Structure 1
Amino acid sequence: MTARVLDGRAVAKQIYEEVTAAVSERVSRGSSRPRLATVLVGEDPASAKYVELKQRNAHSVGIESEDHRLPSNTTTDELLSLVEQMNRDENVSAILIQQPTPKQIDMRQIVFALDPVKDVDGFHPLNAGLVALGLPGGVEPCTPAGIIELLLRSGIAIEGANAVVVGRSNLVGKPTALLLLKRHATVTLCHTRTKDLASHTLTADILVAAAGRAHLVGKEMVKAGAVVVDVSTNWVDGRQVGDLGAGVETVAGWLTPN
């Protein structure tokens, strides 16, 4: 068996086209053009590249942006002041604080200070709570929301499926499990300290690898024909890899490419 590819690029293209049309329609009705504010504290090259990519993607769909670059010695109070300024700015539709931030920044204070409506990452407790309760109105974190879109647009049935998520981060693992549960999957949430991980992953019709540990899930841990989504980024010997081991493509029915 050779797994069929879950084509994220094709799905992304569809979404970009839809967002571009939605922005154009919004502006044609006389509403202001959406505006994304990004904040980068420090000079981490990888973080800077991520911010540049987000800015470029925003522009590609007609969303305006502004970029705030702060020195690495910025204090929590100084960042809070900027957040409060952006909260008040009616021209700013969404705020994105690039993480990780320097150690002296208390991100809990920063997240709590964000206007929940402008919290594009869905970190604010109000948004996290709405997602956890399955209630409308909460901002869903982008990677978990992207996983759901990828599955649905690929024709994968979520309702009634046994779904196993490996990884319990607040950014990906937990919200992914909640969004799958919202769509009526039977969900098991595992992590790197789960005993006998394979006994869980082998039950999965849908398996999401999000633990951030290279080669954690081998082919012997995947049920034949399963839908497997690997969203982790690990670096091994200068090469980017996910959480899956070699040969998973010979067992899975659907698989995201490396």
Structure 2
Amino acid sequence: MRILKGADASAAIKIQVAEGLERLKGKVPKLGIIRVGERADDKSYERGAVKRMESFGLRVQSYVYPEKISHEDFEKEFRTINEDPDVAGILLLRPLPGQISEKQIENMIDPAKDLDGISPANIAKVFAGDSTGFAPCTAEAVVEMLKAAGISISGKRITIVGRSMVVGRPLSMLLLQENATVTICHTRTRELAGACRSAEILVAAAGKAGMIDQSFVGKDAVVIDVGINVDEKGRLCGDVDFDSITEIASMATPVPGGVGAVTTAVLAKHLVRAAGLAQKV
């Protein structure tokens, strides 16, 4: 089995980012990462994003708030960042604590700074096939990884396990635009393993550590593991039981070092694009 690491896709995106920076003529855009609380997976993603932005020559600032911050106080802080002309793009780490209305914040974010595609305007564009918006970074990263690996998408049977608005649903739209035949499965799908085995490309985005084992994977399938979980030992792991599929799958992505690495590269690409649109270059 070939291990599909994110390095190739990330390297290709880095070239695109460099070209975008040249068009900005010396103005380096800044990403604002907003985190509430101390969730381990949020902090891990934040560290990766900061490292990626800096390695791509971009600016980044983290805005961290206590888990018990009130909705009113958080909304005030968010509005300040949202309206700051020095912040070219925003990444809001979710889910937010229960006392904060996530929907209200999603409606507040400036679509032009919404790099992870959470605003209603950007979501609508993804589902309408309008490429002028920003798609969720993780969903776009899956497509970037497949293309970088030379895997044809057109006409392929692709099954996605997970129906969230973060990955499953927007990814299905991006894949349909590439002329794939897409099936979305979830926890209530009957005979889930069988539905997955029929896929030529299987995308695991269920958010459950080790859920996808050899019984879900068809012979020579390509397996893309989107899951980012923390196991009982505090280590990052995916939704796929990686060791169990090595004799069945033709290719698979590891965790860490797979889709997550490309997700932050896509975030950097979106940041430069947002800055370019703001400057009309």
Of the structure 1 ranges 211-220 and 123-132, higher mean CA displacement relative to structure 2 is found in 211-220
User: Do the aligned partners of 2:225 and 2:240 also contact (CA within 8 Å) in 1?
Assistant: yes
- Which residue in the other structure is 1:101 paired with? 96
Structure 1 position 45, deviation (Å): 4.9
Correspondence for 1:251 among 248, 251, 263:
248
* Secondary structure, counterpart of 2:170 in structure 1: helix
Shift of 1:194: 0.7
Change (3 A) 1:221 1:153: same
List runs of 5+ in structure 1 lacking aligned partners. none
Which residue among 19, 22, 27 is the counterpart of 2:20? 22
Q: Tell me which residue corresponds to 1:127.
A: 122
Deviations 1:193-245 (A, max 9, x none): 21101231122111101112233322233221111111113344425432223
> Where does structure 2 lack aligned partners over 5 or more consecutive residues?
256-281
Q: Which residue of 2 aligns with 1:181?
A: 176
Question: Residues 126, 240 of structure 1: CA spacing in aligned structure 2 closer, same or farther, 3 A cutoff?
Answer: same
Alignment partners' CA distance in 2, 1:237 and 1:67: 27
Q: CA deviation at 1:41?
A: 2.1
Give the TM-score, by structure 1 length: 0.90
Contact 2:230–2:237, Cα closer than 8 Å, also in 1: yes
Question: Structure 2 CA distance, aligned partners of 1:49 and 1:236?
Answer: 13
Is the 8 Å Cα contact of residues 217 and 244 (structure 1) preserved in structure 2? yes
Using the TM superposition, give the Cα deviation of residue 256 of structure 1 relative to its aligned residue in structure 2, in angstroms: 1.1
> Aligned to 1:247, what secondary structure does the other structure show?
helix
Query: Given residue 64 of structure 1, which amino acid in structure 2 is its aligned partner?
Result: R
**Deviation readout 1:117-176 (Å, 9 max, x if unpaired):** 101111111111110121121211111111100001111010100110011111111111
Q: Match of 1:138?
A: 133
- Give the Cα–Cα distance (whole angstroms) in 2 for the partners of residues 50 and 241 of structure 1: 13
214-223 vs 172-181, greater mean Cα deviation: 214-223
Check 1:207–1:36 CA distance in 2 against 1; reply closer, same or farther (3 A cut): same
- Residue identity in the other structure for 1:244: V
Kindly indicate whether the alpha-carbon contact (under 8 Å) linking 2:8 and 2:148 is maintained by their aligned counterparts in 1. Answer: no
Contact 2:41 2:229 in 1 (8 A): no
1:39 CA drift (Å): 1.6
Which structure's CA Rg is the greater one?
A: 1
Equivalent in the alignment of 1:39: 34
Residue 174 of structure 1 aligns to a residue whose secondary structure is: helix
Per the TM alignment, residue 69 of structure 1 is displaced from its structure 2 partner at its CA by 2.3
Separation of aligned partners in 2, 1:242 and 1:48: 16
**Equivalent pair of 2:31/2:89 in contact (CA under 8 Å):** yes
> CA distance change for structure 1 residues 52 and 130 in 2, over 3 Å: closer, same or farther?
same
Q: Which moved more, 1:149-158 or 1:225-234?
A: 225-234
> Aligned residue for 1:165?
160
- Runs of at least 4 residues off by over 3 Å: 43-46, 234-237
Report the number of matched residues. 253
